[in-house]
Amino acid sequence: MPQHHPAPPERGFGGDIRTADCDTVVAIARGQKATRICVILEEGSDIGALSRFLDAGLPVRAVAVTPEVCDALEARGMAYLPLSDAIDPERLFAESLALYHSVEAFSDAVDAHLAGIFPDVARCDAHPARDNFFSLYLLFDILLVRSTILKVLLEQTSPDMIIAFADDGPVPVRVPGGMPFTRDERIFPLLLRCNGAPPAVLCTGQPRREGRSPSGQPALAGRIKRDIRRHPLLRSLAAAFLAEGGPGGAGLCLALLGNLLAGKPAVAIIGFGYNWDYIFPHLVRTGYVPLHLPEGAGNGTDAPPPAGLIPADLLAAYGTLGGLDASSIIADRATPLLWDAVAATPSCAAVVKEVIRRWRPCAFLCSTKTTFREHFAARTARKSGIPVISWQHGAAGFFRYPLLAHTECANTDLHLVWGEGVRSALATDSEGASACRHEPVGSYHLQSLPDFPPPPRPFPILYVTTSYFLSHYYFGYEHRLDDIGLWHTQKTILDTIGAAGVASVLKLHPGEEHTGPLLRHLAERGISSVSVVRGERTMQECLLEAGTVIIDFPSTTLLEALASGRTVFVLLAHFVLSEHATMLLKKRAYCSDDPASFARIIGRFCRGEPLDQSPDTANTEFLEYYGIYRGDHGAAGRAVAWMTAACRHEIRQ
């Protein structure tokens, strides 16, 4: 559950920010004789207040931040300015790249300060800020992007009054998963409280959206699962049984115990191993004892953090983003994260050192590392002379993703990648990914996809889209995605599919909660041929039933679609692929960088009309260059071979 603290003090420049209910906001606007009022709408529940402002005759201009708001305004026939009009993707990505190195410098300075006041941090060589870089960069980036958008928005509307909406209730500052904000948290009211922000009025009375609650689990089953995950051997035995189930799983458990009794080398898996977990049986059968680090290793504290955990001079030096002094937000969101890392350092060190002492692993294995505990474990292993080997988690190489340098390459000796294209891209990045060695082995997940049978006729369509970013909106990789632009693309594609009348599936991300606008659009247009799937079926299960795949945001799902041998359509409007990657992809898939043209291509295909493009579904150049390497089903063998060489210290930079 999120922990809360009282709302931050309200302050602004050019006049104190005011908080008031709807009726008082109307009175304030009339008293100021405002003639150009900008109303920032982040939730559908804000529309009721907007209607009251309009009924009162206020000269308001609505700014819609999310697809939900756009959908609600359009349903009522209300005019609005979409937030996407204030977004310049190229500018924002350039600023994000510059910010990356600034946050690195901030993190290193904070770590030096913490090591000077906490002996355990210095003794254990802990880096509470640098090893939380993923969360800190998102925090800075989200604030920079939103403050820049706010600045452009004000230039476009030239308001003499700004109205935003404040959530009722306390502000969460410790969010599960290390994210700086909850998915639905309102960011603009926070920014409008910053020094440097224009005067504004915050309208109260809006309920805070809590989001979907995690599925419940019986208390006893939950405790058993938690206890198993805290013991390396029990967790590995459970993983062995679940990997193959029944007699096969029992046999794998016996093989694991046999390796242990025979003194075979152990390898420790940090966090979710992904491809390492996928090849768990292979590790056991090649004579290794794979063990998971205890889940949640390292105890934090419920004690409040001491004052000044982040020095005021560092906040002053790094806290101005997009012309706003966001230092108070940075302090509020970063302090609990840093304090948890400081408090957990001694127990983290004890847990990792106990695993090293008891099990004597010859290597630490990992995939993506986003948390302090994961990076601390890797750092401790390397200090003990044990190599750390990471294996690429998701699609990479055909687009810029600076954070990969931290999540997969930092505190790593050897990074196994999915293809030569990934190695080539990482070798030339400017964020530090080249600090470790990269070797292509392929993706075990992609190569283990089944041989897909010929698709059923009349070639059902699978449309795969991505999640809205909402308050997690950031430019941590090079894209042109804005939620409202994506929503319009989704509607255009769904209208095209619906007109064709072909049985189709709209596959949403399993974690997507904001399905309302899309479901309402399907209902309003009477599109009954499209069914919506979120987590009920996996991507693989959907591919088995599909004949044609449409992708509007090419990521790992693109590689899965290409591996299936299906006909694939890829929209490149919301994602920036490298020139070489685009050239390879066009040999295999129908591509367009314009949503309207993309929809026309799909429509002509559905009607059986000739197309200008003629991609070859048998072409595997893109897939091999970025996903399956040699396409020979040898990913597991190559990964274990490199791991063995690293354990024998035969790997050199």
Average pLDDT score over residue span 16-32: 88
**Whole-model pTM above 0.85?**
yes
The domain 226-301+314-446+632-647 is placed in CATH, from the list 3.90.1570, 1.10.1660, 3.30.1380, 3.40.50, at: 3.40.50
Q: Which pLDDT band, with edges at 50, 70 and 90, does 5 fall under?
A: very low
d(CA 554, CA 79): 32
Average pLDDT score over residue span 436-446: 94
Tokens standing for residue 192: 């409008």
d(CA 501, CA 355): 58
Q: Does pLDDT of 456 surpass 80?
A: no
d(CA 245, CA 280): 13
Q: By the 8 A CB rule, do 553 and 481 touch?
A: yes
Q: Does pLDDT of 625 surpass 70?
A: yes
Instruction: HSE, CB side, 13 Å, CA atoms: give it for residue 462.
Output: 29
Q: Which pLDDT band, with edges at 50, 70 and 90, does 11 fall under?
A: very low
pLDDT at 169: 61
pLDDT at 454: 76
Q: Write the pLDDT tens digit of every residue in 467-517.
A: 887 655 555 666 666 888 889 999 999 999 999 888 899 998 877 777 888
pLDDT at 470: 66
**Cα torsion through 524, 532, 569, 472, rounded to 10:** 90
493 versus 307: the higher-pLDDT residue is 493
Tokens standing for residue 150: 């706010």
Q: Write the pLDDT tens digit of every residue in 559-608.
A: 999 999 999 999 998 888 889 999 999 999 999 999 999 999 999 999 99
**What order of strands is seen across the sheet that includes strand 548-551?**
530-533, 504-507, 461-464, 548-551, 567-571, 590-592
Q: Write the pLDDT tens digit of every residue in 228-240.
A: 777 888 989 998 9
User: Which of 57-71, 102-116, 529-543 is predicted most confidently?
Assistant: 102-116
* Cα angle 122, 140, 406; round to 5: 55
Tokens standing for residue 178: 């290390």
pLDDT at 458: 63
Superfamily of domain 461-628, CATH level 4:
Glycogen Phosphorylase B; (3.40.50.2000)
C-alpha closest to that of 151 among 194, 183, 180:
194
**Cα torsion through 344, 347, 351, 356, rounded to 10:** 100
207 versus 622: the higher-pLDDT residue is 622
d(CA 89, CA 479): 7
pLDDT at 467: 80
Compute the mean pLDDT over every residue in the chain, rounded to the nearest whole number.
87
According to CATH, where is 3.40.50.2000 located in the chain? Answer: 461-628
d(CA 254, CA 248): 10
Q: Write the pLDDT tens digit of every residue in 400-433.
A: 888 888 999 999 999 999 999 999 999 887 677 7
pLDDT at 6: 34
pLDDT at 477: 62
Q: Is the peptide bond before 458 cis (omega within 30 degrees of 0)?
A: yes
Say how far residue 562 (Cα) sits from the centre of its chain. Answer: 22
pLDDT over 90, % of the chain = 55
* Cα angle 581, 141, 209; round to 5: 105
Average pLDDT score over residue span 8-14: 36
Alpha helices by DSSP H, 118-269: 119-123, 133-157, 188-192, 219-229, 232-244, 246-261
The answer to which of 187-191, 333-337, 476-480 has the lowest mean pLDDT is 476-480
Please name the CATH architecture into which domain 3-87+143-206 falls: 3-Layer(aba) Sandwich (3.40)
* Sign of the alpha-carbon dihedral angle for 205, 211, 215, 217: negative
Q: Does pLDDT of 536 surpass 70?
A: yes
Residue 646 amino acid letter: A
Q: Does pLDDT of 399 surpass 80?
A: yes
Question: Which DSSP category does 411 fall into?
Answer: T
d(CA 636, CA 276): 9
The answer to which of 75-84, 451-460, 584-593 has the lowest mean pLDDT is 451-460
